[in-house]
A and B are shown apart, each in its own frame.
Chain A
Amino acid sequence: MLTEVHVPDDVSAAVRLIAGGATAIGGGTSVLPWLNDYASPPTELVSLRRTGLAGIRVDGQTVELGAATTLAQVEHDERLADLNAVVRSIASTPVRTLATVGGNLFARQPHGDLAVALVALDARVTLVDDTGSRELSVEELGDQPSGLVTTVTFERPQPGTFKYVKAARRRYNSASLVTVAATVTESDGIVTGARVALGGVGPRVIRAHAVEAALVGQPLTVETVRAAGEAGRGEIEPADDAYASAWYRTRVFPVHLRRALLGR
């Protein structure tokens, strides 16, 4: 049962309310469906709508997204070409108007495709609680950190190095079967760096260390990517859900890894 919706005017007021047990919402597109449908314990919400946390700053190669920046803002920002396509693969227009960057970090799989991309981009967050603020990576964030994510920061990848594929049951507005996001750098035809994140194939976003290890030092060929896909099968933990079976996700994962990394 929803007992109060706070709409604080600044971050410190929001943090105090969260420390007191209230739940933060960005757009509410994950939390409200639950509250609309299920009996919940008394719940207080803190809306971030007026906290001034919405906004995109690009300074050289560094991008800072306020946690309350909507997916629609990211979708339409020409400076964020790599993320435009990522965001367009998420939900529908009237959901993206509401849903936020910070909220997507806590979307339950097989949702949360932006978080997959942000792990591949080695993004970092600022987490504020009533004792102060600290910085950590999106990968380290976990499901329920204490405090409020206020910003997400990453370095824009070199042109052509960011790869993203989301396989879904429908072309638009469908949850992930397999999501692959990666940054891959090459020198003289050899992979010199790879950071690969996966969605849809586990209870959380998976950083695919075995896939990365199979790529680095090799030429980016069909054979290399096939071996990386085999290696990756050991680190995914897919589940059955309404979209696909775990078996199916395991079966097609290497195909979508190849499409992401090689474009075919």
Chain B
Amino acid sequence: MPLRIVNVKVNGVDQAFMAKPDTTLLLALREQLGLMGAKRGCAQGACGSCTVLLDGAPVVSCLVPAATIDGAAVATVEGLADGQELNDVQQAFVDGFATQCGFCTPGMIMSAEALLARNPDPTADEVNEAISGNVCRCTGYAPIVSAILEAARRRRDRAGTAEQEATR
């Protein structure tokens, strides 16, 4: 069974790993690069717990053969915090008690990041649509939606403040 060297930029850092034909992006992240944030839930693309960003767009990493993404950029939940300081979405999840068991949380957060990158001021319904591929079996969707809306608000406020300071 042929092994292949796959080069990827993960959270801004160049990485290389050996992939077997059946190595998925999820498996490579967890077992070869030691990034345990993305979870293996259904391995069917249905639960979203393995969601990461591939070249900036959200994907279910359990369905991506690693051999197909040589040269790509991958962003995972581990890359969001700045040292010990959580980013807006992570902090809003903590503040709003939007995690219960936590299994779905990394996927939820990456779907939220993808949404906010495209749409900084989403409605609750747009948030619902954006996380419709992420299953929370604790069923705590309401605080998750609130946390994403709150993160969006904080991010807009900060952008507004920065703009004011820049024009002062």
A interface with B by C-beta (< 8 Å)? 1-5, 7, 25, 27-29, 32-33, 35-37, 45, 47, 49, 72, 88, 91-95, 97-98, 170-173
Q: List 9 A-B contacts (CB under 8 A).
A: A3-B21, A5-B4, A27-B63, A29-B63, A32-B45, A45-B65, A94-B114, A95-B63, A98-B59
List which B102-145 residues lie within 8 A (CB) of chain A. Answer: 111, 114-115, 128-130, 132-134
Complex: A49 Cα to B45 Cα, angstroms: 19
Contact B1 A3 (CB under 8 A): yes
Task: Determine if B37 is an interface residue (Cβ-Cβ < 8 Å).
Answer: no
Instruction: Give the interface size bracket for B toward A.
Output: 20 to 34
Chain A residues positioned under 8 Å from B132 (CB to CB): 92-93, 170-173
Give bound CA distance, A146 to B2, whole Å: 27
In the complex, A231 Cα to B148 Cα: how many Å? Answer: 48
Which residues from A are CB-within-8-Å of B43? 33, 36-37
Q: Does B67 contact A (CB under 8 A)?
A: yes
Residues of B within 8 A of A49 (CB): 68-69
Chain B's closest residue to A48 (CB) is B68
Query: In the complex, which residues 51-85 of chain B have their Cβ closer than 8 Å to any Cβ of chain A?
Result: 51, 54, 57-60, 62-65, 67-70
Closest to A34 in B: B44
Residues of the A chain whose Cβ atoms lie less than 8 Å from the Cβ of B45:
29, 32-33, 91, 94-95, 98
| Interface residue from B2, B21, B54, B133 paired with A92 (Cβ < 8 Å) | B133
Task: Name the interface residues of B6-41: CB closer than 8 Å to any CB of A.
Answer: 21-22, 24
Cβ-neighbour of B62 out of A7, A36, A171 (below 8 A): A36
Is the CB–CB distance between A95 and B133 below 8 Å? yes
B44 touches A33 (CB 8 A): yes
The residue from A1, A25, A95 contacting B60, defined by CB atoms under 8 A apart? A95
